[in-house]
Structure 1
């Protein structure tokens, strides 16, 4: 299990006003809207979510980096747990023509508004119970999803990812290394339930038997 950084290629492109996030709109109300995983979260105001998520190809460099690192090839099966609108899945098909992509997300809105080319490959469901057979994917990824789960679901989700994947897995979650990053995370997040340092995440991985790779997003 290794700590890898694929996501800063996208994460650090975004500027964030942490103070505005908690002063320009009631934070509790924003979180309530966000946790419905509906229009407000994906395509509404920036203060209640992404502020409009449209495909722009930014995940292609992430897909290419993962494909190179894991040696992906035509015929491999890739699962994205918490795939949202499926942009990374679509970019995997561009990075490695011939791969089979499958996505799972809790949001019916995100699925209905996903990339049309891969929409039929996305199923609605929860990470705590993946509707797939053991060892059925060559790569399983989960980007910015698992920190949204309470501990009892997080435990199950990590075990499920381990179950359905073969040897190649990558999880990216929000974390913090100091009080400044912790404050920024608290200001910025709308849906986070698992607030863990890297050391605490490492405990979760060992506790659940997760053997894949991982990465962290920090709000510096």
Structure 2
């Protein structure tokens, strides 16, 4: 299978305004990162300097869900795994469009799973991307959005191989990256949890060396 660059989430990402300088001058960035990496209430629903600043649903994932369904030709009865699902908002929209879709959400954060969107909570579970609790070839589509770059390279490689192991169909990965020095600086300023901060060229090296065969999309901080 040939990997393809896709653009499912980029319009959402580009529609958000960010003050990169304020991110590093308005608070103790190192202390904020320490709090964010606990993946608890402060990261999801605490101060903006610690993460999302209140991760509540506003319907924005509906368009992304439709794009995924159309692009991958998803149908009722197929299985989809979301690694790093957070509160399950994307899975909620997938199920709303295709009620017969079998979805599973996995996240390292107990808080996110416990506080997931009520309609989808029964489909969410706590787990680790580097050791997926599923059989080989279990899913028609495996996705992971804004998650795997939070792993150091040795765990990132395992997570990519785990995605390959459990999929019997397609895969889609959305990660942070940069194309030039300005985007690199902006990413460094903005990020709280990123461990694998790679350029586009470096990500392609990672894909090849760890055997990732799915599609991908990059979040650039322009």
TM-score, with length taken from structure 1: 0.98
**How far is 1:113 from its partner?**
0.6
Q: Distance in 1 between matches of 2:32 and 2:74?
A: 39
Alignment match of 1:47 (pick from 43, 49, 65): 49
Q: Which moved more, 1:94-103 or 1:23-32?
A: 94-103
Cα distance in 2, alignment partners of residues 95 and 200 from structure 1:
36
Residue 189 of structure 2 corresponds to residue 187 of structure 1:
yes
How far has the Cα of 1:166 moved from its partner? Answer: 1.5
Q: Which residue of 1 aligns with 2:111?
A: 109
Specify the SS of the correspondent of 2:157.
Answer: helix
The equivalent of 2:31 in structure 1 is 29
2-structure distance, mates of 1:95, 1:50: 26
**For 1:1-220, what aligned pairs fall within 5 Å after superposition?**
1-220=3-222
Task: State whether residues 174 and 217 of structure 1, in contact with CA within 8 Å, keep that contact through their aligned partners in structure 2.
Answer: yes
Matched residue SS, 1:141: strand
Does structure 2 conserve the Cα–Cα contact (< 8 Å) formed by 1:167 and 1:212?
no
Deviates more, 1:31-40 or 1:93-102: 93-102
Structure 1 ranges of 4+ moved more than 3 A: none
CA distance in 1, matches of 2:97, 2:186: 34
Ranges in structure 1 where 5+ consecutive residues have no aligned partner: none
- Give a deviation string over 1:154-206, Cα, whole Å, max 9, x none: 01000000000122100010000000000000000000000111111111111
2:178/2:184 contact within 8 Å kept: yes
Q: Unaligned regions of 5+ residues in structure 2, if any?
A: none
Normalising to structure 2: TM-score of the pair?
A: 0.97
Q: Aligned residue pairs: how many?
A: 220
- CA RMSD for the aligned pairs? 0.8
Residues in 2 aligned to 1:166 and 1:5: alpha-carbon distance in whole angstroms: 23
